Amino acid sequence: MSHLVRVDTVFSTVADAPSVSDPTAHHVGITVSDLDRAVDFYAEVFGLDVVAEFSVGGEAFADAVDAAGASASFAHLAADGIRLELVEYDPEGEPMPERSLDRPGATHLGLGVDDVAAFHDGLADDVETLSEPRTTESGTTILFVRDPDGNLIEVLDA
């Protein structure tokens, strides 16, 4: 069953369609249980730099994120065209169940490095990996690691 809808069947003319500017990727957001621990992990393991830290609260924020009474602390980390937003909520919600990569929905963050094998060899012993680096049939070397909250990060040839 196709879920594609032709624009001319939704709007009487293309001119009636709402105007949308070309979107750009701004950041990837990850909710974490301990902001300091997560910042340390992404800075130490991936070399990301903290570019902003702030806290947000109040009724407008709680309404926007659909979490009554919530406030949050944020850290934005960046390097070479990627911006990662780490968020710690107060009060903390229920942890998400561990997901496998074959389930629908957002499953992982992909980060490119110059040499996956060298990256793997330089990992601290406490960084969980799913396997040794593997080279796929397409010739790309990949490695999956977990951050301190269990989020999957695919490390691949840049």
Query: 38-52 pLDDT, tens per residue?
Result: 999 999 999 999 999
pLDDT band at 59 (very low <50, low <70, confident <90, very high): confident
Q: How many helices (H) and strands (E) does the chain have?
A: 4, 8
Same domain, 84 and 135: no
How does 93-104 read in b/e, with b if 16+ C-beta sit within 10 Å? eeeeeeeeeeee
Instruction: Note whether 91 and 113 are same-domain residues.
Output: no
Instruction: Let me know whether 114 and 158 are in one domain.
Output: yes
Q: Is residue 60 part of a domain?
A: yes
| Residue 43 belongs to some domain of the structure | yes
Residue 20: its pLDDT value, please?
Answer: 60
Instruction: Using the predicted structure, report yes or no on whether residue 7 has a pLDDT greater than 50.
Output: no
Same domain? For 33 and 82 the reply is yes
**Residue 115 and residue 87 share a domain:** no
pLDDT score at 26:
80
The pTM for the full model equals: 0.77
Provide the pLDDT for residue 78: 95
Helix (H) or strand (E) holding 141: strand 141-146
**Residue 81 buriedness (CB in 10 A; 0-12 / 13-18 / 19+):** exposed
Domain range holding 158?
108-158
| Total structural domains within the chain | 2
For residues 141 and 18, the model is more confident at: 141
Helices (H), 65-149: 116-121
Residues 83 and 113 in one domain: no
CATH number of residue 142's parent domain: 3.10.180.10
Phi, psi of 34 (to 5 degrees): -145, 105
Instruction: Select the more confidently predicted residue: 24 or 109.
Output: 109
Residue 45 counted as domain residue:
yes
Residue 58 pLDDT > 70: yes
How confident is the prediction for the chain on average, in pLDDT? 84
Residue 20: inside a domain, yes or no? no
